[in-house]
């Protein structure tokens, strides 16, 4: 009972500090919201430091409360990102849920697969209500002034339309003005989709449609590992399945960076597994891929799974993965243990990521792998990797045997 009272008191005090920080943020916004560039650096730093301390010193919250609040928290996160992106909904928000139909839809970004998906979502939504709706693809080269007005005017035969203006950055001044004029008073039975790759060219159209409250969908190039992991998880949900974070990262490592290949792999995995996908399922279907083999060996060894690590090692060697690449993966894994294990105890989140030069998702993964490791064990594993590096570069007659010995040594060092 006393523990409950103490926990409640800690949350009460923490809530007071949160309210003070929110009040300061609100004051900054009210004073500088119209021109954020003029916010003083000192004010931003105060808010940043206060937010960091709230995260660092906040009392623990029982897992049941996280589960109760998860949906609302994710909704709030999406809304916040939309504001930061100037009204554009991030791809990981709309990708799984679909794109709702608005009279004007602005698709911005140069990730071709995502742009095509967004257009397809709009067309599917329109045809769900009107199966006979006409879809008209338009390109600036085939458009003349007045053509958009002609296509959006009421038809004698009725029926809805979806006008898709591709390469909207190439619309001239006159056509841009015509589109913006139409967007001020769109027809009830017409949905206009403007597709713009982003950038400075044709920005007047993007700015104009944004001011007119067009539905803005973001389709940027997916360049970061974390974004590709978000894509995979959204793709799996879209197909009716569920994948763990480790499974999603494993699939990205295995398949590579191409979104079309990732999408195809997600669809196939959901069909083959019934929808519940974890790291083991990814390894089972994609263990023959060179990109996954070396790092899978390292992960299994670091986690103390000797039989699985040796199986993956033999498979990697059989499929042509160079021994030096496997040693490199083992070295990265063990060095990760050393870096994260030796980090300052109070460092967390973004501060820890900056300190170690590692992405947050990787730090989380290594922290889980650290369980069962001691400082002496990590030192022995580092020594074993150093010996393996020498062995596979000409110091041993049989590199495969040297690698198996190294894997066994790493597993034993874990204790």
Looking at 3.50.50.60, 3.40.190.10, 3.40.50.300, 3.30.300.30, the CATH number of the domain 95-218 comes to 3.40.50.300
219/18: higher pLDDT: 219
Q: Give the three-state DSSP class for 186.
A: coil
pLDDT by residue (tens digit) across 190-226? 999 999 998 899 999 999 999 998 988 888 888 888 8
What proportions of the chain, in percent to the nearest 5, are helix, strand and coil? 65, 10, 25
Token pair listed for 16:
């007071």
Least reliable range by pLDDT among 50-64, 236-250, 317-331: 50-64
Question: Environment class of residue 325 by beta-carbon count within 10 Å: exposed (0-12), middle (13-18) or buried (19+)?
Answer: middle
Q: What is the dihedral of CA 339, 340, 344, 348, to 10 degrees?
A: 140
Are residues 45 and 24 in contact, defined by beta-carbon separation less than 8 angstroms?
Answer: no
Domain locations in the chain?
A: 1-60, 95-218, 225-414
Which has the closest alpha carbon to 277: 259, 295, 265? 265
| Average pLDDT over all residues of the chain | 80
Residue 252, both tokens: 């990205």
Give which of 68, 42, 50, 48 is closest to 14, Cα–Cα.
50
| Contacts with 178 (C-beta within 8 Å, 6 or more apart), sequence order | 145, 146, 148, 149
| pLDDT tens sequence across 243-267 | 988 888 888 877 777 888 888 888 8
Q: Quick one: pLDDT at residue 182?
A: 93
Give the least confident one: 2-16, 34-48, 64-78, 157-171: 64-78
Sheet holding 215-218, edge to edge: 88-89, 215-218, 104-108, 190-196, 161-165, 134-138
- DSSP three-state, residue 138: strand
Topology (CATH) of 225-414: Zinc Finger, Delta Prime; domain 3 (1.20.272)
């Amino acid at each position: 009972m006393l523990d409950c009272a103490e926990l409640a008191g800690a949350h009460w005090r923490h809530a007071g500090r949160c309210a003070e920080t929110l009040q300061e943020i609100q004051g900054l916004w009210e004073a500088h919201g119209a021109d954020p560039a003029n916010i003083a650096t000192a004010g931003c730093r105060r808010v940043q430091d206060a937010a960091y301390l709230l995260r660092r010193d906040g009392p623990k919250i029982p897992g049941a409360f996280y589960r109760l609040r998860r949906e609302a928290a994710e909704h709030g996160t999406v809304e916040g990102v939309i504001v930061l992106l100037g009204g554009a909904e991030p791809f990981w928000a709309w990708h799984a849920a679909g794109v709702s139909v608005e009279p004007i839809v602005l698709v911005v970004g140069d990730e071709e697969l995502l742009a095509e998906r967004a257009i397809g979502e709009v067309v599917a939504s329109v045809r769900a209500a009107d199966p006979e709706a006409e879809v008209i693809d338009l390109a600036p080269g085939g458009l003349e002034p007045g053509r958009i007005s002609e296509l959006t005017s009421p038809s004698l035969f009725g029926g809805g339309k979806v006008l898709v203006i591709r390469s909207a950055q190439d619309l001239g001044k006159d056509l841009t003005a015509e589109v913006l004029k139409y967007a001020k008073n769109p027809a009830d039975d017409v949905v206009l989709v403007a597709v713009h790759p982003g950038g400075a060219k044709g920005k007047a159209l993007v700015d104009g449609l944004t001011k007119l409250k067009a539905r803005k969908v973001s389709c940027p190039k997916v360049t970061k590992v974390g974004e590709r992991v978000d894509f995979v998880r959204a793709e799996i949900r879209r197909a009716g399945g569920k994948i763990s974070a480790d499974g999603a990262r494993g699939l990205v490592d295995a398949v590579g960076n191409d979104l079309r290949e990732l999408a195809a792999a997600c669809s196939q995995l959901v069909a083959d597994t019934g929808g519940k996908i974890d790291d083991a399922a990814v390894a089972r279907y994609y263990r023959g891929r060179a990109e996954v083999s070396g790092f899978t060996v390292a992960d299994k060894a670091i986690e103390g799974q000797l039989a699985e690590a040796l199986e993956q090692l033999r498979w990697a060697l059989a499929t042509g993965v160079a021994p030096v690449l496997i040693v490199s993966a083992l070295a990265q894994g063990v060095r990760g243990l050393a870096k994260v294990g030796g980090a300052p105890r109070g460092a967390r989140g973004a501060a820890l990521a900056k300190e170690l030069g590692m992405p947050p998702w990787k730090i989380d993964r290594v922290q889980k792998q650290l369980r069962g490791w001691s400082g002496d064990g990590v030192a022995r594993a580092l020594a074993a990797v150093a010996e393996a590096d020498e062995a596979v570069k000409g110091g041993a007659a049989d590199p495969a045997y040297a690698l198996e010995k190294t894997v066994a040594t790493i597993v034993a060092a874990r204790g």
